[in-house]
Chain A
Amino acid sequence: ELKVEQNPLFLSMQEGKNYTIYCNYSTTSDRLYWYRQDPGKSLESLFVLLSNGAVKQEGRLMASLDTKARLSTLHITAAVHDLSATYFCAGSGTYKYIFGTGTRLKVLA
């Protein structure tokens, strides 16, 4: 059964700094997804990673996937306040999407 773990759970960082959120999963996953959730809002898709070595970038966010290590990372470059949100990774298989617990990111000016 697929299990997904994220760390850290909370991340407070200063503007301009770099940091990485880690997502480990327990068994083979068809895809690896990253979502963003603003406070009180719904989830919005950021990235879909399909295969080993996949890397996707959008602005200051870059996601990568290592299927052999069962690890995905979300790297934040030169953080800005607008990136403050909760970030979720999710794996999928057999018609089920399984989410991690989320990383609450707060970027301080």
Chain B
Amino acid sequence: SQTIHQWPATLVQPVGSPLSLECTVEGTSNPNLYWYRQAAGRGLQLLFYSVGIGQISSEVPQNLSASRPQDRQFILSSKKLLLSDSGFYLCAWQKSANTGELFFGEGSRLTVL
């Protein structure tokens, strides 16, 4: 069966510090991978998606970046965090060419102070 792991689960970082959130998927190959952010009281906002190794598309301009060094690994990074980067970050995977169901990780709660 397929599983998705995301870590760390919680993170408290000072403004200006770097960030690295990691997501890995097991039990499937060549998945579509996504990073979403969920701010308090708001819907999920798509940040990045990837359809293959090294292929990253950004939906929203920001100081975050994403990378996909391996087929089932997706990393969200920042060189310098802003207060506005605080939120709940969700990684998700999707089988290629299906009805669009997303399988989400457990999320990473980021607080920037």
Do they bind each other?
no
Contacts from A to B (Cβ < 8 Å) = none
